[in-house]
Amino acid sequence: MKVLHVLETSLPHTVGYTVRARTIVDYQRRLGLEPVVITSPLFRAQEPPAQIEEYEGVRYYRTNHIRPPGSAKSKLSSYALRIVMAVRYRRAVLEIARREHPDVLHAHSSYANAYAALPAARELGLPLVYEVRTLWGESAVIEDGLRPDSWKHRLVWRLELGAMQRADLVLPISQGIREEVIRRGIPAYKVDVMPNGVDTSKFAPRPRDAVRASAAGLDGCFVIGFVGSMRKLEGLSTLLTAYGICRAQRDQVRLVLVGDGPDKKALEAQAVEQGLPGVIFTGNVPHADVPSWYSIMDVLVYPRLRAVINERVTPLKPLEAMAQGKVCMGSDVGGLTELIRDDDTGVIFRADDPEDLAHALISLMKEPARLERLGRRALEAVRRERDWSAISPRYIELYEKVIRVARDRKYS
């Protein structure tokens, strides 16, 4: 079975979106499928790549010869370029689909990729699967200050729901997204969760990197960590304030924040303003170094804000940490409580409440046996429930289902 994946971006970039895509493609190959990838005009590379590349034995078709709207010099020309880009992107996907003769078209967020794949699905009689990774309109409410129920907010939702309505199968990555899109009118029978997972052969427990810990001045310290993008929705301001409360009570505690993002400068300024000693901002680090940073952390904290986007969408990073036997602490928003069971596979605290987070952290510092138990239970749960080897076979079942539906539609 050949599957044509239509992606926003991909390797060699390494972000959550591309890590999931790479893992899906890798495991589908292991299962005997033949995945082929198309990336959108928004994929950017240091050097303009060839229109066809190969990574890890998989063909990647590039469409970034199509001019993106970001290169426009005015808002009006940006809108015009967006339309031209969409038309040319659709044409490119259709031409590649004709060449590759796939059995399934699998478009991944955003809706632009689903719309790009739609003409090929209709003309060639192929089933269209649309994998929904996030809720773009709700993300923009937090990240860009978009007003809920504004015309832009409604437009994004209309485009997303339109893509879902036209797809043969909708695959949200979380139960929260599934509930939201069904509430907004997508038939439940065509919505099936394909959750976030982790490759536990790549993310596994490892000894503490004593050299890195010593170089960072963390010897003998209880290390609170965060690994990920520093954005508003992550609620890292709450973490900094909670750390200050902990530090006032316990001197041998440190905070390490690994990553970058639009909120990094504001967070660094907050740490200075609040006079917080022992906070380390690493900035971006090579992907190969991330497990080493995880190894020196005693707990990982995900203090996401209470917002619709966080109630519905599950992040990937806690699963990576849990696969390494780390204790994860998450705020009580749906996207985290779907991953972390309180006092079983981690700890849940009240969102936007630094005092509750600090209390939970200090409790863990006092109970090393509990810390060890939670880490062990987290590792067991991820290996059992969230390893990609357990999740991936479901794709075959779902693909076969939509192929039958498309075949029946073609001959009815």
Residue 222 and residue 362 in one domain: yes
pLDDT at 295 over 90: yes
Closest CA to 320 of 198, 173, 194: 198
152 domain-assigned: yes
pLDDT of residue 376: 97
Output the CA–CA distances (angstroms, integers) from residue 231 to 235, 256, 303, in the order listed: 8, 16, 11
Is-contact 385 339, C-beta < 8 A? Answer: no
Tokens (6 digits) for 226: 């965060």
92 domain-assigned: yes
Residues 6+ apart with CB under 8 A from 150: none
Per the structure, the complete domain to which residue 137 belongs is given by 2-197+388-411
Is-contact 63 38, C-beta < 8 A? Answer: yes
402 domain-assigned: yes
Length of the chain: 412
Residue 298 and residue 263 in one domain: yes
Residue 325 and residue 393 in one domain: no
Output the CA–CA distances (angstroms, integers) from residue 52 to 17, 30, 199, 250, in the order listed: 21, 22, 27, 56
204 domain-assigned: no
Residue 18 and residue 128 in one domain: yes
Q: Report the C-alpha gap between 100 and 4 in whole angstroms.
A: 8
Tokens (6 digits) for 154: 């409604």
Residue corresponding to tokens 């050949």: 2
What's this model's pTM, rounded to 2 decimal places? 0.89
Kindly give the pairing relationship between strand 299-302 and strand 222-227: parallel
Residue corresponding to tokens 């039958």: 404
pLDDT at 361 over 80: yes
- % of the chain surpassing 90 pLDDT: 76
Residue 312 and residue 165 in one domain: no
347 domain-assigned: yes
Residue 188 and residue 56 in one domain: yes
Output the CA–CA distances (angstroms, integers) from residue 330 to 10, 122, 350, in the order listed: 28, 43, 9
Helix (H, G, I), strand (E, B) or coil at 253: strand
Is-contact 375 326, C-beta < 8 A? Answer: yes
Min mean pLDDT across 188-202, 336-350, 398-412 is at: 398-412
Q: Report the C-alpha gap between 125 and 217 in whole angstroms.
A: 61
Residue 224 and residue 260 in one domain: yes
Element holding 106 (H helix, E strand): strand 104-108
pLDDT tens sequence across 81-96: 888 888 999 999 999 9
pLDDT tens sequence across 370-411: 999 999 999 999 999 999 999 999 999 999 999 988 777 766
Residue 162 and residue 259 in one domain: no
Residue 239 and residue 303 in one domain: yes
Residue 214 and residue 148 in one domain: no
pLDDT of residue 162: 95
Closest CA to 177 of 30, 311, 56, 283: 311
Q: Report the C-alpha gap between 368 and 6 in whole angstroms.
A: 46
pLDDT at 67 over 80: no
Question: In which band, very low, low, confident or very high, does the pLDDT at 286 lie, cut at 50, 70 and 90?
Answer: confident
Higher pLDDT, 383 or 13: 383
Kindly give the pairing relationship between strand 128-132 and strand 34-39: unpaired
Q: Report the C-alpha gap between 110 and 361 in whole angstroms.
A: 37
Residue 224 and residue 324 in one domain: yes
pLDDT tens sequence across 101-139: 999 999 999 999 999 999 999 999 999 999 999 887 888
Residue 223 and residue 249 in one domain: yes
pLDDT of residue 406: 78
174 domain-assigned: yes
Q: How many domains does the chain have?
A: 2
23 domain-assigned: yes
Q: What DSSP string describes 22-65?
A: HHHHHHHHHTT-EEEEEE-TT---SS---SEEEETTEEEEE-TT
340 domain-assigned: yes
Q: Report the C-alpha gap between 65 and 77 in whole angstroms.
A: 18
CATH code for position 343: 3.40.50.2000
Phi, psi of 221 (to 5 degrees): -105, 150
Average pLDDT over residues 254-271: 96
Residue corresponding to tokens 């005997």: 32
Tokens (6 digits) for 99: 């060449």
Q: Report the C-alpha gap between 247 and 225 in whole angstroms.
A: 14
The angle that helices 136-143 and 151-166 make with each other, rounded to 10 degrees, is: 150
The dihedral of CA 229, 263, 267, 148: what is its sign? negative
